[in-house]
Amino acid sequence: MWKNAMEKSCIIGVVLFAMATTVLGQTDANNISDHNNILIKNPESVKTYLKGEDVQYDKLWIPAEIDVSKYKILFKEYLQKNADVNTSTDNKYILENFDKYKLQYSGFVKNSKKYLIFNMISLAIDINDKEFAFVFDGGCGVVRVVIDVENNQIVRIECNMEV
């Protein structure tokens, strides 16, 4: 009986450890989680978003096979290097709140180059996986980023206007 109860305890411990490792293993060393990354695949939503942000493009690119975490890390590193640079965006605020942002993303092509567009939202609003969320204020609680995928370069960063 003792052997059986001990075996059950060990099995339960191993299962709990495996579950904890799986959950904790979903983030990388830079604490960039994947569960807040939402790929917007709806072409009409992407077109509407790009038009609203005055982004010129040749065609849409839905980056289904891309590892978006790589580009979130790139953006975070950019913020770390430029936290104290005086720009129209509050890089320090974005960096300090980086892990609170939910990310909606998609892509486009301009002059044969692929770009990712990020819509990062830290505000307590509902966002979905069908269309980009539009927020009319919120300051740097809403951040838009354009990234040149080929050159791993941040092309544009913008915070929402505040009313």
Residue 133 located in a structural domain: yes
Q: Is residue 59 situated within a structural domain?
A: yes
114/59 Cα distance (integer angstroms): 10
* The CA-based dihedral angle spanning residues 121, 125, 130, 135, taken in that order and rounded to the nearest 10 degrees: -60
For the record, the structure tokens of 50 come out as 């790009």
Scan for tokens 């990234």, then name that residue: 147
Q: Token pair of 138, please? A: 């919120």
Count the neighbouring beta carbons within 10 Å of the beta carbon of residue 69: 16
Residue 17 placed within a domain: no
Count the Cβ atoms, other than its own, within 10 Å of residue 19: 10
Residue 9 lies in a domain: no
Rounded to 10 degrees, the C-alpha dihedral 68/115/90/69 comes to 10
- Kindly give the residue spans of alpha helices, DSSP state H, lying in the chain: 2-24, 43-52, 68-81, 91-96
Kindly tell me if the per-residue pLDDT of 86 is higher than 70: no
Percent of the chain at pLDDT above 70? Answer: 76
Give domain status of residue 71, yes or no. yes
For 54, other C-beta atoms within 10 Å of its C-beta total 6
Residue that wins the pLDDT comparison between 20 and 114: 114
**Any domain includes 15:** no
Q: Is residue 13 part of a domain?
A: no
State the residue range of the domain holding 112: 29-159
pLDDT tens digit sequence for 15-39: 333 333 333 333 333 334 456 789 9
Total domain count for the chain? 1
User: Is pLDDT above 70 for 107?
Assistant: yes
Whole-model pTM: value is 0.74
At 127-149, the pLDDT tens digits run 777 888 877 777 788 899 999 99
51 inside domain: yes
For residue 53, what pLDDT band results from cuts at 50, 70 and 90?
confident
Of 64-68, 70-74, 150-154, 156-160, least confident by mean pLDDT is 64-68
pLDDT of residue 61: 94
Of the two residues 5 and 65, the one the predictor is more confident about is: 65
Measured distance CA(132)–CA(114) in Å, rounded: 19
User: Which residue did the predictor score with more confidence, 117 or 67?
Assistant: 117
What phi, psi does 111 have (nearest 5°)? 50, 45
